[in-house]
Amino acid sequence: MDLLWLYAQALVDGLLAGVMYSLVALGFVLIFKASGVLNFAQGAMVFMAGLTFVSLMELGLHPALAGLATVAVMVALALAVERVVLRPLVNQPPIILFMATIGLTFIVEGATLSVWGSTPKLLELGDPYAAFEVGELYIVYSEFYAAIAVAALVIALALFFNKTRIGRALRAVADDHQAALSVGIPLTTIWVVVWSVAGVVALVAGIVWGGRLGVQFSLALLALKALPVLILGGFTSIPGAIVGGLLVGAGEKLAEVYMSETFGLGGVENFFPYLMAMLFLMVRPQGLFGERIIERV
Amino acid sequence: MLYRESGQFKTSYVRDQAIFPIAQDRWGLFLLLLFAAVGVPLIANEYWLGSILIPFLIFSLAALGLNLLTGYAGQLSLGTAGFMAVGAFATYNLVVRIPEMPILLAFVLAGLIAAGVGLLFGLPSLRIKGFYLAVATLAAQFTIEWVLTSFGWFTNYDASGVISAPPIVILGYAFDTAVSRYLLTLGIVVLLALVAKNLVRGAIGRSWMAVRDMDVAAEVIGIRLYRTKLLAFAVSSFYCGIAGALWAFLYLGTVEPQAFDLNRSFQVLFMIIVGGLGSILGSFLGAAFIVLLPILLNNAAVLLGGQVRADTLSNLELIVFGGLIVFFLIVEPHGLARLWQIAKEKLRLWPFPY
């Protein structure tokens, strides 16, 4: 294959992978926007949702039914988290809340593993290697459909945020907690809603990633890949999460191909996104679409 | 009744500036150190010394380093294990490449090298803070791990990428038993903890705390922000580097870069959260808690049932561990050190309520 095509292929692969990163990052952004909590447990939630879904299907449930049941589980999780973790920690500094979600990560992972076992499970979404060609580029069907699913999800979320009553309440809370409270928006309900929506996003991410990697523990580690995405896009911006995901996906694949072609060094993609995010932050500390932080003395 | 400072008058400035102004604290610490240095080697067996106390001391040192950066200077870092790896591999390379290098000097030099690397990755802190900075420090973690695994030079071209520590000999005395390694670790950790204690109550520590509490205000009163933050990164990495070197040389003996992965960073972060941010004592308490908890859980499970399957057990351990972290954050966000402080305040007045 021509070198140019190699890079083009890497770019396409990267962009498709990037869409899937942004899916995980989306869950972070939703929760961060509404409650100012950087939810480290999002990766664990992806794992939990994916494994619950697959295991229910293995028990013989129809996929749609299994999906609904999983959504119910995620809503229950959201309720529990609000009640047990968030409510007692109101008014604590963000770092404490962040730490609490790390603790939550352990609980979610441990609980999921004890209920469903730790063996990786396969999620059949058709032939994972079936692909169509554009020029000399291979585009895998499953990834292509995943990208479409993500686009649909983002549109649905945008509609939800902009057109519904709850969506408007969510945006109000994101703008200013106290002002939202004072006009009668119930903060605790909003948190449950947001965590539930993040749970649904986690389910989609779990299905998409599970179809690609198999439903296994490494899904929980996706949270780490979502962090540079968040940084590049800004913590509070949904379009930012998408653009950041694309940048990270494309960047890491291109860097990997470049480094292995030129210097014969592999594994660059494991750390390149973080380095990219770090250097990017030196220039623009609030990310691409983040809110500008203004400090007054 | 025993813990009361009445009647202890400070008659000179030297006494007023003592590290432990209360006599009971001084004596308590002295007795504790005496016990650690003399009593523990007499009663503890090989397993306790080698597998619990040495890692506890080393973790305390790493937690201390991170606490200086996160607890005192307010810069959240997730790259602790990366800096530990730098320390371990720097010591190894110094010792292997310069045969006449004394091991203690190698430790110090490795700490300085780690400090240099920390300085480099601390540069983003000049522009960013909070979570953004935390993610930027992840770059340090992953980049260091990758560099150490990808370039054979660092592991002296070992086929499996593992370094084996040569035997430690200081002034002709070989540190080959668990007791001697424990005592050496204890000495180094106590010395560095003393330095840290003095550091944080002096001008440097105060400027760190000023930056932590509000960086803009700190700048206004004339603290040079960049220098202070970078110094915090350097000192913290120095401590972590030495902890890594001790981990490789005095605890495990053989180490691969993967021993210093992100989980290790998180582990150290938990220690300072559980122990108490911005407290030297907290670093030790947190390290003890995190090191002992899994052992305790294991033993408890054996006592309770005995026939629990191993993977169920490790899952339960995860749940209990996570639950305890959340519980601690809710009950006492300032950690074990704060509990200790409250206990001391109560003791001062006891048996009277006010």
Of the candidates B248, B195, B238, the residue with the CA atom closest to the CA atom of residue B58: B248
A110 vs B316: CB contact, 8 Å cut-off? Answer: yes
- Distance CA(B186)–CA(B33), nearest Å, equals 9
Give the orientation angle of helix A42-58 with respect to helix A94-116, to 10 degrees: 20
- Distance CA(A205)–CA(A221), nearest Å, equals 13
B28 is written with which tokens? 């308590």
A110 vs B322: CB contact, 8 Å cut-off? Answer: yes
Number of residues written out for chain B: 354
Reduced DSSP (H G I as helix, E B as strand, rest coil) percent helix, strand, coil of chain B, to 5: 75, 0, 20
* Residues of chain A positioned with their CB less than 8 A from the CB of B148: none
Ranges of each domain in chain B: 22-260
Is residue A294 in some structural domain?
no
Q: Which helix (H) or strand (E) holds A139?
A: strand A137-140
Give residue-wise pLDDT tens across range B13-29.
888 888 887 888 888 88
Res. A100: pLDDT tops 70: yes
pLDDT of residue B310: 67
* Residues of chain A positioned with their CB less than 8 A from the CB of B317: 110
The answer, for A26 touching chain B at a CB cutoff of 8 Å, is: no
pLDDT of residue B114: 94
The identity of residue B84, as a single letter, is M
* Residues of chain A positioned with their CB less than 8 A from the CB of B150: 265-267
The identity of residue B27, as a single letter, is W
In this structure, of A135-144, A223-232, B136-145, the range with the lowest mean pLDDT score is A135-144
Q: Taking a C-beta distance cutoff of 8 angstroms, is the pair B85, B260 a contact?
A: yes
Which of B209-246 are b and which e, b meaning 16 or more Cβ less than 10 Å from the residue's Cβ?
bbbbeebeebbeeebebeebbbbbbbbbbbbbbbbbbb
Of the candidates B177, B135, B220, the residue with the CA atom closest to the CA atom of residue A248: B135
pLDDT of residue B243: 94
A287 vs B324: CB contact, 8 Å cut-off? Answer: no
- Distance CA(B288)–CA(B56), nearest Å, equals 6
User: Does ipTM top 0.95?
Assistant: no
State how far residue B99 is from chain A, nearest Cα, in angstroms. 31
pTM confidence score: 0.86
- What average pLDDT score do residues B29-44 get? 86
In this structure, of A69-73, A211-215, B48-52, B326-330, the range with the lowest mean pLDDT score is A211-215
The CATH number of residue A177's host domain is 1.10.3470
Domain that holds residue A271: 3-283
Q: Taking the CA atoms of chain A, what radius of gyration do you get in angstroms?
A: 20
State how far residue B139 is from chain A, nearest Cα, in angstroms. 5
The answer, for A115 touching chain B at a CB cutoff of 8 Å, is: no
- Distance CA(B211)–CA(B202), nearest Å, equals 14
Is residue A290 in some structural domain?
no
Res. A210: pLDDT tops 70: yes
Is residue A15 in some structural domain?
yes
Q: Which helix (H) or strand (E) holds A122?
A: none
Give residue-wise pLDDT tens across range A247-296.
888 888 888 888 877 776 767 777 888 888 878 877 777 767 766 665 55
The answer, for A235 touching chain B at a CB cutoff of 8 Å, is: yes
- Looking at residue A286, the DSSP 8-state letter turns out to be T
Of the candidates B60, B89, B81, the residue with the CA atom closest to the CA atom of residue B148: B89
In this structure, of A61-65, A74-78, A135-139, A152-156, the range with the lowest mean pLDDT score is A135-139
Q: Taking a C-beta distance cutoff of 8 angstroms, is the pair B205, B67 a contact?
A: no
Q: Which residues pair with A131 in a beta bridge?
A: A140
Q: How far apart are the first and last CA of chain A?
A: 59
Is residue A293 in some structural domain?
no
- Distance CA(A139)–CA(A134), nearest Å, equals 8
- Distance CA(A296)–CA(A275), nearest Å, equals 30
The answer, for B293 touching chain A at a CB cutoff of 8 Å, is: no
Q: Which of B135, B136, B312 sits opposite A114 (nearest CB)?
A: B312
pLDDT of residue A297: 47
Task: Using alpha carbons, list the distances in angstroms from residue B328 to A77, A276, B94, B156.
Answer: 20, 35, 42, 44
Residue A76, phi then psi, degrees to nearest 5? -60, -40
- Distance CA(A7)–CA(A122), nearest Å, equals 31
The total number of structural domains in chain A stands at 1
State the pairing for strand pair B254-255/B173-174.
Answer: unpaired
Q: Which helix (H) or strand (E) holds A49?
A: helix A42-58
Q: Which of B76, B146, B315 sits opposite A267 (nearest CB)?
A: B146
B127 vs A282: CB contact, 8 Å cut-off? Answer: yes
State how far residue A128 is from chain B, nearest Cα, in angstroms. 30
pLDDT of residue B309: 66
Give residue-wise pLDDT tens across range A35-60.
778 888 888 898 899 888 888 888 87
Is residue A132 in some structural domain?
yes
Percent of chain B exceeding pLDDT 90 equals: 29
Q: Which of A96, A102, A265 sits opposite B333 (nearest CB)?
A: A96
Is residue A99 in some structural domain?
yes
The answer, for B322 touching chain A at a CB cutoff of 8 Å, is: yes
The answer, for A90 touching chain B at a CB cutoff of 8 Å, is: no
A109 vs B318: CB contact, 8 Å cut-off? Answer: yes
Is residue A147 in some structural domain?
yes
Task: Using alpha carbons, list the distances in angstroms from residue B141 to A179, A214, B49, B308, B325.
Answer: 40, 27, 30, 36, 23
Instruction: Specify the higher pLDDT residue, A285 or A162.
Output: A162
Residue A275, phi then psi, degrees to nearest 5? -65, -40
Q: Within the 239-268 window of chain A, which residues sit less than 8 Å (CB to CB) from chain B?
A: 265-268
